[in-house]
A = this chain, B = another copy of it.
Amino acid sequence: MAACTLNFVLIASAFFSFTGAIIPYKTAYFEQNLDHFNFVQVETFKQRYIYTDQYWNGNGPIFFYTGNEGPIPGFWDNSGFVFEAAEKFNALVIFGEHRYYGESMPFGSSSFDHDKVGYLTVEQALADFAVLVTGLKIQFKATQSKVVAFGGSYGGMLSAYMRFKYPNVIDVALAASAPIYMVTFKGIEREFFFSAVTEIPHLLGWIRNSFTSLAMGDYPYPTTFLAPLPGYPVNVACKMMATASSKLQGLADVTAMVYNGTNGTLTCLDPDTEYIECADPTGCGLGPDSRAWDYQACTEVALPAGSNNKTDMFPVLPWTLDMITKYCQEKWGVAQRPGWAATQLWGKDIASASNIIFSNGDLDPWRPGGVLEDVSPTLVTVLVKGGAHHLDLRASNPLDPATVTQARKQELELIQKFIQ
């Protein structure tokens, strides 16, 4: 889900660009147990959360964003729908940062040392959120308030998982573009995966990744969420290919658009820094957030296989289970545990959960891993025709297609219904 420079650009997006009004936030820190599942381990760390009470009437619900793989302000700035909804519900809005991302580093710059990185798991992150919300309900004198979790992509998975594991804490979840089946499905195909072996696959991965970012970020207006892109960048890319002097030049133009961006100032591109290979086939960036994501992809967040040129348009980039095992062992000294994620996070057996809205856009490459059909009257889906990666979570925009406006309306109605 990293799609190359996600974390990088998230940081940038907080400063440079934003669609919709900028919502000011307050920053605070919550003392968390480093290991929720081991009482001998008594160390703690400070988890960042950001919030606003500008919509809150003291009795309304709490809207809690389950932070994902990046500094939390980036998600704040790209999830304007949460604030529009908060205004309607008079809600207190809190965004919790995921441990090992942003400022929530348990051991500062040494957080990724071998003896320290092991506290980065989905379970610890979910427990953080459960303890944080429980604590903040007391702090904000809101113990009677219902709590709605919001999240997009991996954050959407976490929102759904909160309803799975902590329905006593979270009453309703909007899981936007959350490919829970792809990540935890027992039968996941892992035959093909990108290669970190030779230079030519790296170059191909670098190009392939630009298309991934284009598809995920195919929003109707300019954004900087995944990369600084124009509105409907896939259309722009198609035009570039059609009008280029050669197919190779067209490919170069499109790739450059992603890596150089609409505000690009680079005089040349550098695949070695712009596409950092890792256990996520869509690549990782640089910096601590990317390292955290790489570790998660090496442990519980099993990502889809690479391209095979049969079911996709990309060159064959094999990344076998043996290869990823070797990579993760050498890089982190860890191995995935076959079947664990499916057992712990329910795989496809999610029918006993309730009050979750799964939304997916049909332009989103992650969609096939999502929940696309209603499972029960309280486990429902919202399909956003013409929508890219969790477009519905973004602020309303004059350029929005009617489908996403309708989807948001439907989501508000479902939240209203489930909250009662």
Query: A78 in the interface, Cβ–Cβ < 8 Å?
Result: no
Query: A39 to chain B: which residues have CB within 8 Å?
Result: 118, 121, 298-300, 334-335, 337
Query: A118 to chain B: which residues have CB within 8 Å?
Result: 35, 38-41
Distance in angstroms between the alpha carbons of A299 and B298 in the assembled complex:
31
Which residues of A in the span 35-61 have a Cβ within 8 Å of any Cβ on B? 35-42
Query: A352 in the interface, Cβ–Cβ < 8 Å?
Result: yes
Number of identical monomers bound together in the oligomeric complex: 2
Q: Which residue of B lies closest to A300 (CB)?
A: B39
Q: Does B40 contact A333, Cβ atoms closer than 8 Å? A: yes
Which residues of A in the span 326-378 have a Cβ within 8 Å of any Cβ on B? 332-335, 337, 339-340, 343-344, 346-347, 349-350, 352, 354-355
Distance in angstroms between the alpha carbons of A137 and B300 in the assembled complex:
22
Q: Does B33 contact A337, Cβ atoms closer than 8 Å? A: yes
Query: A167 in the interface, Cβ–Cβ < 8 Å?
Result: yes
Query: A414 in the interface, Cβ–Cβ < 8 Å?
Result: no
Main secondary structure of the interface of A (DSSP, over half): loop
Query: A350 to chain B: which residues have CB within 8 Å?
Result: 168
When the two chains form the complex, which single residue of B37, B115, B127, B355 contacts A40, counting CB atoms closer than 8 Å? B115
Q: Which residue of B lies closest to A131 (CB)?
A: B343
Distance in angstroms between the alpha carbons of A130 and B339 in the assembled complex:
11
Query: A300 to chain B: which residues have CB within 8 Å?
Result: 39
Query: A291 to chain B: which residues have CB within 8 Å?
Result: none
Q: How far is the CB of A327 from chain B (nearest CB, A)?
A: 14
Distance in angstroms between the alpha carbons of A12 and B69 in the assembled complex:
53
Which residues of A in the span 1-33 have a Cβ within 8 Å of any Cβ on B? 33
Query: A417 in the interface, Cβ–Cβ < 8 Å?
Result: no
Query: A119 in the interface, Cβ–Cβ < 8 Å?
Result: yes
Q: Interface size for chain A: under 10, 10 to 19, 20 to 34, or 35 or more residues?
A: 35 or more
Query: A308 in the interface, Cβ–Cβ < 8 Å?
Result: no
Q: Does B349 contact A352, Cβ atoms closer than 8 Å? A: no
Q: Does B168 contact A165, Cβ atoms closer than 8 Å? A: no
Q: How far is the CB of A355 from chain B (nearest CB, A)?
A: 8
Query: A169 in the interface, Cβ–Cβ < 8 Å?
Result: yes
Q: Does A114 contact B347, Cβ atoms closer than 8 Å? A: no
Q: Does B352 contact A167, Cβ atoms closer than 8 Å? A: yes
Distance in angstroms between the alpha carbons of A414 and B33 in the assembled complex:
40
Query: A37 to chain B: which residues have CB within 8 Å?
Result: 35, 37, 121, 123-124
Task: Report, nearest first, the 3 A-B pairs whose CB atoms are least far apart.
Answer: A40-B118, A168-B349, A167-B352
List 28 interface pairs A-B (beta carbons < 8 Å), by A numbering: A33-B337, A37-B37, A37-B121, A37-B124, A38-B118, A38-B121, A39-B118, A39-B298, A39-B299, A39-B337, A40-B115, A40-B332, A40-B333, A123-B123, A127-B344, A130-B344, A131-B339, A131-B340, A131-B343, A134-B339, A166-B344, A167-B346, A167-B349, A168-B346, A168-B347, A168-B349, A168-B352, A169-B343
A residues near B (Cβ < 8 Å) are 33, 35-42, 114-115, 117-119, 121, 123-124, 127, 130-131, 134-135, 165-169, 298-300, 332-335, 337, 339-340, 343-344, 346-347, 349-350, 352, 354-355
